[in-house]
Amino acid sequence: MSLDDLKSRVKDMPISSVIGRYINVTRKGSQQLAICPFHNDHSPSMTVNDQRGMWFCFVDNIGGDAIKFVQLYKRVDFVEALKDICQALNWNFDEYADKPKQVSAHVEMGKKLMTKSSQLYQKYGMQGDQNIFKDFLLKRGVDPELAKTYQLGYSPNGNVLLEYLYSIPSEKDRDYALKIAFEIGLLKDKNQSQYDTFRDRIMFPIWDFQGHVIGYTSRSVREEQIPKYLNSTDSFLFNKRQLLYGFHLAKNAIREKDSVIIVEGNMDQISLYAKGFQHSVAIMGVGLGDSALKRLMSMTTNIYLCLDNDQAGLKATERINEQWMSEGVIPRFINLHPHKDPDDFLKAEGAIEFQKRIDEAQPFIDQLLKNIIPTPLPELPDRQLAILQQSYPLLAPLGENIMAMERLASLAKKLGLKSESSVIANDYRHFLEHRTPQRPVVTENQAVVEETDTAIAPLNDTTVPVQKWDQTLTKVECTFLQQIVQHPELAMHSSLGELLDFVDNSEVKRFVSELREVLYEIDLSEYISVVDNKLNSQDFGIDIVSYAGAGLYNYRPTELNDKVISTMIDDLKYRLQEDQLKQKREHLEAKLKMIETKEEQQTFFTELAAIDKELLQLKSARKKGAR
């Protein structure tokens, strides 16, 4: 069986029986109603329709099927929603989970070996006479229950894992287990001598996003041991840049608090978790992988960076900050001064003071911009401009986003530049057009690896697809999306291209364009199932899916006449144009607060007057058309 089979099984269930596992659904006459959990609802505004297999909230104007409800309610991606539904209905999700056929046997054996090795290390740490391990826990303030939560252990100085594998009775099973153990780096073979990779070390298991042990980071227990930290090498099972330490423990708290704290070390994450900051994760190595970033972004865009308070930590913070800014997200920076890392800070200052630092955290980009302002300020305009231009590479990941343009205008004002904002903006755009685009380059810390083995291609990302959370749609874009889905005749109209010119959200444009292409290929009797499959394809963000789902909920197979279609097209065109002009006006009004000179003011007033004139002309044309 597959995830498609599971999806079909969920859809075959009365939707009320699924949603009813999460919120109270009551019958009132022929309708089933519920208090909507997506806004401050006091009287039931959500209808749950078993015949259509969909729900709809007439206040939020969103809707969809049972899976979409759980995605929104739990703030999880598509596959995690299915898994959650299985848990709610006491179904076995593993019966449906898709597994990569070519590597499933390897992966299955690899995970078995990782699980067994973790149990061995825990046994030697917690049950054996290992004072080194217990002294480590005592010194770091880790109580036994917390050590159990993190499955901490100890690998003694010997070959306990190798000996265990050689005790497997079946020669075939033993040889296969040994082969995989070497491939995933649990064992090594050097000069015809086989031995455990991890010996005489404190063991920190590393989990995949679902909570399976897939690797280790370890710490030496003696001063003469080299290296101090030793990680599992990349393999078909383990790719540390795409992982986040402690994620499986933190994910519920991240959703609940709608924020995440990103730290650098395992002990930092463990300490934060123990002190109540359970919405924290640690990067593996010195960077944040793209899939790890996307996974966090699907859960929250409130990012707090709290890496080590040293030069290396600052450089890593700059790289990760740039990655987030490229996604249109502005991370905040938690200042640990005078302490080196979160673990040291919590030991010295405590949780209340750390929460205070969180509350005081400012955008990291603002700190970088502040650092380039000299004291005293230069008087020469050429020097002022040169300093301003130092900000261009820092702001470049944001492109021409208003968050960059506002900071640029504010910095110019602080430096004393008298140039018009439009001139400064054009100079910045010229920089963007002629720069060589670069992504942050992350190099792995080779010092933590004992030997450089022949590179094994890392496992392709076979984790669940990450659900995107789109930028907030405007009210008019939501209406446009719903109307197009509810009345497919609009998508086939010759004026659709013109309407899309007034839509700023690229995901809305893509969805509507793809819907139009589909409509040319299907019979309208297939419309509901085809659009439903598209909404379940995971190609679009949850906002797009929810508002389009509301349109599908209200769809009825009735044919509109040409006059009605033309009226709806004209109305949408007017509302989209008006919305676009109003957004331009809001952006200008925000910039107006930052200008100093009368000349700059006059320029902005002229632009505002031009927009107001366009709005009046638009309203006038609408009135004439209505007569």
Residue 467 CA to residue 142 CA, distance in Å, equals 35
24 domain residue, yes or no: yes
**So what's the pLDDT on residue 101?**
47
Question: Bridge partners of 282?
Answer: 245, 263
**Structural domain boundaries enclosing 28:** 3-95
468 domain residue, yes or no: no
520 domain residue, yes or no: yes
- CA proximity to 289, closest of 108, 458, 102: 458
Q: 109 and 37, same structural domain? A: no
498 domain residue, yes or no: yes
- Give the tokens for residue 458: 């890392």
Q: 606 and 484, same structural domain? A: yes
The DSSP call for residue 522 is S
Q: 76 and 109, same structural domain? A: no
Burial 344-374 (b: 16+ CB within 10 A, else e): bbbeeeeeeebeebeeebebbbeebbeeeee
- Give the tokens for residue 505: 């959200």
* pLDDT higher than threshold 90 for residue 562: no
Helices of type H across 350-401: 351-360, 364-371, 381-395
- CA proximity to 247, closest of 468, 538, 464: 464
What is the per-residue pLDDT across 283-299, written as a single tens digit (0 to 9) for each? 987 678 888 898 888 78
Q: 140 and 35, same structural domain? A: no
**So what's the pLDDT on residue 300?**
87
- CA proximity to 251, closest of 422, 463, 410, 89: 463
- Confirm if 34 and 46 have CB atoms less than 8 A apart: yes
Give 70's Cβ-side CA count (13 Å radius): 26
* pLDDT higher than threshold 70 for residue 250: yes
Give 448's Cβ-side CA count (13 Å radius): 17
The DSSP call for residue 240 is G
Q: 145 and 21, same structural domain? A: no
Domain-ending residue, one of 68, 95, 122: 95
457 domain residue, yes or no: no
- CATH number for the domain spanning 169: value is 3.90.980.10
Residue 182 CA to residue 453 CA, distance in Å, equals 11
- Of 48-62, 90-104, 447-461, 528-542, give the range with the top mean pLDDT: 48-62
Q: 602 and 480, same structural domain? A: yes
Using H for helix, E for strand and C for coil, what is the string for 154-215?
EECCCCHHHHHHHCCCCHHHHHHHHHHHHHCCCEEEECCEEEECCCCEEEEEEECCCCCEEE
Q: 600 and 562, same structural domain? A: yes
When pLDDT is cut at 50, 70 and 90, the band that residue 625 belongs to is low
What is the per-residue pLDDT across 407-436, written as a single tens digit (0 to 9) for each? 999 999 999 998 888 889 999 999 998 875
Domain-ending residue, one of 45, 75, 95: 95
Q: 143 and 216, same structural domain? A: yes
- Confirm if 55 and 47 have CB atoms less than 8 A apart: yes
When pLDDT is cut at 50, 70 and 90, the band that residue 150 belongs to is very high
Give 353's Cβ-side CA count (13 Å radius): 14
Q: 90 and 108, same structural domain? A: no
149 domain residue, yes or no: yes
383 domain residue, yes or no: no
- Confirm if 334 and 361 have CB atoms less than 8 A apart: yes
- Give the tokens for residue 627: 């007569």
- CATH number for the domain spanning 42: value is 3.90.580.10
Sheet holding 31-34, edge to edge: 25-28, 31-34, 46-49, 54-57, 62-64
- Of 171-185, 234-248, 433-447, give the range with the top mean pLDDT: 171-185
579 domain residue, yes or no: yes
Burial 377-398 (b: 16+ CB within 10 A, else e): eeeeeeebbebbeebbebbbbb
- Residue 133: strand, helix, or coil: helix
How many domains would you assign to the chain? 3
Domain-ending residue, one of 95, 125, 146: 95
Q: 21 and 124, same structural domain? A: no
Q: 155 and 85, same structural domain? A: no
Q: 110 and 82, same structural domain? A: no
